[in-house]
Amino acid sequence: MPVNKIVDSFDEAVADIEDGATIMIGGFGIVAGAPSLLLEALARKGSKDLTMVSNVTGFGKMVWKQLGFKFAEDPDILVRNGQIKKAIATAPVSTIYENNFERLLRAGKVELETVSQGTLAERIRAAKAGLGGVYVSVGVGTVVEEGKETKIIDGKKYILELPLKADFALIKAHKGDRWGNLVYRRTSRTFNAVMAGAATVTIAEVEEIVELGELDADAIHTPGIYVDRVVVRPLVIEEEEVEINAEAKESYEKFKERKGN
Amino acid sequence: MQEKERLDRQTIALRVAKEFQDGNVVNLGIGLPGLACNFVPAGREVLFHAEIGVLGFGEMTAPGEGDWELVNAGGQTVHEQPGMSCFDHAEAFVMIRGGHVDVSVMGAFQVSEKGDLANYMVPERQIGVIGGAMDLASGAKKLIIAMNHTTKDGQPRVLKQCTYPITALNCVKLLITDIAVIEVTEKGMVLKEVAPEWTPEEVQRLTEPTLIVDPDCHEIELM
């Protein structure tokens, strides 16, 4: 029987993400690399007590919609929906305004583990590669070192960082085929390509599904072995009204100001 | 006493860019450091690296005109240019941690006499944004800090010991502030340049550790 990893809908793609699951979410924080429609589907499903592994905890749809993005959800949708128990992130809060995660953190409703970005990437890669961990020098002498095993190698101090595995990885790619081969575009590869294969089930949201062979064998970024499900974004979406409240508007203005700098 | 004029953000960025050598791979942090990409000295070819996974990108685009899938670490759209390469996050940080990035420029809250850096968390806020700062501070061959010399209420930010949580130890090589250029050496902090009208004594008064005034200490050169 032909291998076919393509699933018909976003709801079907996330149907088995149960309460308490650990999920990785690809992207950088910039919505271009975020699996927006998988996140929307998971929000509809409503699974609770999720542990989320991602670069950021999200800025919210408002910011991205205002900037003109069609698919505008980032991890914030799960945060504001009350589905997150714990986040493992490198930039959990915004430097310019209080995001939903910070609000919940201050209220004691979520837990946080802050990781440096390169260490997050290596811990995920270690899980994907079946390694027992990696020794890194980043974080020596800082809060990151606390409670961790250290080792001197060639006269330099290293911290043992353990692999980070998830039940599900939600990623976003540019094109994919039925074997799960993926290519990304420009700066949207980010954590998407790293997380592919680091979870029991990797689900890829793509802009286009192509026939086998259309992706050049030398140019495939993520070989299909790491991918379990592929789901395609719709060509046309219904335009929705974005409700602008004063608070969101203010944070957007600040965001724009920062971007202008 | 009315305080003397300090360098503005653009001028600090201009001075930072003077440090970029021909062929350098340079990573610029969010905010003021990012401005330095507009001031690469004429005749030098510099490759900009962003931890989001791109090397050799061009200048920022006009607002709203860029490709949203080609952005720098601050989320600003940048121009594509021949020779540019894109990669994933693990690769981007292999470049950083493996010592392949020549220069990293970032901002700071505090810098210590030994070159310790504090720039990820204001203690009062209790939540930090580490991002890629720890990686870049530890991994880049040369770390340049661009910042204001004092806090808003005039307190020194160049200290004997950092009081804020540490990003990385012994990492800062050069400090470019709104009143001075200071090199961090094994002997201590060496004052190399001062802003126009400023004297070494005036810079010292706003600096906690004792500065070694370079015999060649002069007014900041921008060109």
Q: Where are the domains of chain B?
A: 9-217
Pairing of strands A50-53, A22-25: parallel
Tell me the chain B residues in contact with residue A112 when contact means C-beta distances shorter than 8 Å.
127
CATH topology of domain B9-217: Glutaconate Coenzyme A-transferase (3.40.1080)
Count the Cβ atoms, other than its own, within 10 Å of residue B166: 25
Are the beta carbons of B221 and B207 closer than 8 angstroms? no
- Tens of each residue's pLDDT in chain A, 261 residues: 899 999 999 999 999 999 999 999 999 876 568 999 999 999 999 999 999 999 999 988 877 777 777 788 999 999 999 999 999 999 998 877 889 999 999 999 999 999 999 999 999 999 999 999 999 999 999 999 999 999 999 999 999 999 999 999 999 999 999 999 999 999 999 999 999 999 999 999 999 999 999 999 999 999 999 999 999 999 765 655 555 555 556 655 665 565 443
Q: What CATH number does the domain located at A10-137+144-260 have?
A: 3.40.1080.10
- Please report the ipTM that was assigned to this predicted complex: 0.91
Written as six digits, the tokens of A101 are 């995660």
Say whether A259 and B168 touch across the interface (CB within 8 A).
no
Q: Where are the domains of chain A?
A: 10-137+144-260
String of DSSP letters for B119-173: -S--GGG-----TTHHHHHHHSSEEEEEE-SB-TTS-BSEESS--SPPSBSS-EE
Say whether A191 and B135 touch across the interface (CB within 8 A).
no
Query: Which of B168, B208, B210, B178 lies closest to B191, judged by CA?
Result: B210
Q: How far apart are CA B221 and CA B214, in angstroms?
A: 15
Please list the active-site residues of B: 51
CB neighbours of A118 closer than 8 A, spacing ≥ 6? A136, A138, B51, B93, B96, B97, B132, B134, B135, B139
Say whether B90 and A141 touch across the interface (CB within 8 A).
no
Q: Closest chain B residue to A30 measured between Cα atoms?
A: B75
CA distances from B4 to A121, B175, B197 (A): 46, 20, 7
